[in-house]
Amino acid sequence: MNPIFYASIILLFAAVVLATGGVYEYWNSRHGPVARRVDSRIRAVSAGGPMGRQRLSILKTRTMAESAVLARLLSRIPRVHALDLFLQQSGLSWSVGRFFGTCVVLPPFVLIVGASLRMPWFFTAGAAALCASLPIVYVQRRRHRRIRQLERQLPDVCDMLSRALRSGHAFTGAIDMVGAEFAEPMSGEFRIVFDEINYGVSISEALTNLATRVPIRDLRYFVIAVVIQRETGGNLAEVLDGITALIRDRFKLFDKVRVLSAEGRMSAWVLGLLPFGVGGAMMAINPGFLNVLWRDPAGVKMIAVASVAMLFGILWMRHIVKIRV
C-alpha cells in the first residue's frame, strides 16, 4: 500500500491519543482531586474572619457560585457571607449558589408529583415546604456533627501542642505538626491557620480567624490564652495543660447530664413519632378509614389544631431535656 496511507493512520492515531490526553488533563486540572483540594483550601481561607473579608475579597466573591452572574446577584443579598461561613463550618463543598438552587428546585418537583398523584392540596403544600427546608436541616446537622467532632478533638490537640512546645518546637512548628499529623477535621483547620501565617498574617489574627470558623467556646479560651501569653510571656505548655484538664472535666459533666436526661429525650421521641406511626399503621390496615380527616372540614380543623399542639409539645419537651453545661 501507499506509505502515505500508513503515515496518515499513524498521525491520526497520535492525534487521537494527544487529544484524549489533553481533554483528560483539562478535566483533571479543573475537577480532579488536586483541584478540589485547592478549591477547598481557598474556600476555607476566604471564609475566615475579618481578614478574609478585607484582604481576600476577590476569593470571597468567587466562592459564592460557579457562575459569575449568579455570584454578583448573591453578593447583593444581606449577610450572604455569613451563609457561606455556615456552609464552610458544615464541612461540605457546597457553594451558596448550589445551596439556594437545591432549596428552590425541590418544592416544584414535589408539587408536580403531588398533583399527578391527586393528593390533598394542603398535604402537597406542606410536603413542598418541608422539602424546601431539607437542605437547611441537612447542612445544620452536618455542621452540628462536625462541630461536636472538633470539640471532642480539642483536648488532644492541646496535648499535642503542649508536647511539641516542651520538646523545643516553636509555636508555628507545633501548629504545622497538628495540621500534618492529626486527624480530620481539626487538622484541616490548623492547616488553614498555618497557611495564613505563611501568607503573612499574624499569629493572633490567624487564631482569631480560626475561632470565627470554628464556633467553640473552649477553642476561644485556647485562642485567648495563646494571644495573652504571646503579649505577656509565660509557660504556654502549662497553660495548655490547664485548658485541656478544664475541657475534659467539662466533657465528663456533660456526659453525666446526657445520661441523666436520656429518659426524657427518649420519651420526647416516642411521643412525637407515636401519632404518625399509629396513623400510618391504620392507613396500611384500612386505607379508607382516615379519609374523613382531610375530606370533612371539621377533620381539617382537627388536623390543624393537633399539628399546632404537637409542635408546641415538641418544642416544650426539647426545652426541658436540653440542659446547657
Residues 272 and 226 in one domain: no
Q: Can you give the pLDDT at residue 56?
A: 42
Evaluate the omega torsion of the peptide bond into residue 185 and state whether it is cis, within 30 degrees of 0.
yes
Residues 241 and 283 in one domain: no
Tally of domains in the chain: 3
* Domain region containing 291: 261-325
Q: Transcribe 56-100 into DSSP letters.
A: THHHHHHTS-SSHHHHHHHHTSTTHHHHHHHHHHTT----HHHHH
Answer with the one of 247, 271, 292 that is the final residue of a domain: 247
Residues 228 and 287 in one domain: no
Q: Can you give the pLDDT at residue 31?
A: 67
Domain of residue 181, CATH code: 1.20.81
- Tell me if 248 sits within 8 A of 238, measured CB to CB: no
Q: What span, in angstroms and rounded, lies between the C-alpha atoms of 130 and 138?
A: 12
Q: What is the mean pLDDT of each run of 10 residues along the chain (325 residues)?
A: 67 76 74 65 52 40 61 75 85 84 86 78 80 90 92 92 90 91 90 88 89 89 88 85 90 85 83 85 83 81 86 82 70
Answer with the one of 247, 280, 308 that is the final residue of a domain: 247
